[in-house]
Amino acid sequence: MNKGKDKGILVRGPIVAVLGHIDHGKSTLLDYIRKTNVVADEAGGITQHIRAYEVVHASQTITFLDTPGHEAFHAMRERGAAIADIVILVVAADDGVKAQTLEAIKAITESKTPYIVAINKIDKTGASIERTKQTLAEAEVLVEGYGGTIPCIPISAKTGDGIPELLDMISLVAEMETLDGNKVAPAHGFVLESSLDPKAGPLATLILREGTLHVGDCVAAGTYIAKVKKLENFLGVSVVEASCPSPVRIYGFNAVPQAGEEFSTFTNKKDAESYCKEQEVQAKSALGGSPVPSAVADGIRENIF
């Protein structure tokens, strides 16, 4: 539906990141949601083409970001929280708050992102929802019914118990946040992941927070440019355009952009190059006038995903 009188301004679906300690069930949760909320013939074809995908719940599209739990990916988890509109903090009912849970809480708090606690593994022997809420309280996370206002949903990512309620809560929080997106505007968002394919060249997965991206557009991310030669949705299907908040993979960058970089879209290469020059000047200024590091200049990026 349109919001107000501004043409193209729509209420868009939320972008959701799932964070938490390793082995607390983040991947199992995402797998369950994906398999039960993507159209059956499509779900069977998904082989984690990219680390993001869309599901439909209550007529609303929700974009999920799959973020690794290992502590080596601390910086990426912080970026995931900043990119997302909502975060699901997964805490195992048989284990409670752990080191990476605390890191995730810190990232969420610093980014001021709304979040929902999902107490997972309630089906396991030894699971205790109340004890888990206590460990959360000790970490200064006060959930509803335990002295605070943070939504808390007990779930089992293995059996599916509580998952519909969790999706309902995501929709409710998204509604309260009144997320807007102008689908007729040039696309803008973040680089979620990037890599160098031996045959296809530099690839990047983008999260569109605003606007629509078309094949043929010029994308500028940091100091790098792509004339979009090919556009794929999260299923790996080629499309001619994609609108916010969809995740897409694009081909055509002149080098591998850095994950977490903001991107903007332009109709011509000249404007994109001007934008990149501005970004380079800002990068030098941030370094006190020092030259941009050679890894940046050469476009050599470690694929941390």
Q: Give the three-class secondary structure for 252.
A: strand
**Could you please report the per-residue DSSP string of 191-202?**
EEEEEEETTTEE
Pairing mode, if any, of strands 115-120 and 152-154?
parallel
Q: Is the pTM of this model over 0.95?
A: no
- pLDDT single digits (tens) 162-182: 999 999 999 999 999 989 889
What integer best gives the mean pLDDT of the chain? 85
Looking at residue 73, its pLDDT comes to 58
CA distance 281 to 159: 52
Asked whether residue 47 carries a pLDDT value surpassing 60, the answer given is no
- pLDDT single digits (tens) 204-228: 999 999 999 999 999 999 899 999 9
**pLDDT category, 141, cuts 50, 70, 90?**
very high
CA distance 131 to 287: 47
Asked whether residue 99 carries a pLDDT value surpassing 80, the answer given is yes
86-92 sheet: strands from edge to edge:
52-57, 60-66, 15-20, 86-92, 115-120, 152-154
Q: How buried is residue 220: exposed, middle or buried, by Cβ count under 10 Å (0-12/13-18/19+)?
A: buried
What backbone phi and psi angles, to 5 degrees, belong to 243?
A: -120, 160
Query: How many Cα atoms sit within 13 Å of 14 on the Cβ side?
Result: 26
Highest mean pLDDT, choosing among 42-46, 79-83, 300-304? 79-83
Lowest mean pLDDT among 29-38, 56-65, 167-176, 268-277: 29-38
**pLDDT category, 68, cuts 50, 70, 90?**
low
Q: How buried is residue 295: exposed, middle or buried, by Cβ count under 10 Å (0-12/13-18/19+)?
A: exposed
Separation of CA 187 from chain center: 16
pLDDT: is 35 or 99 the higher one? 99
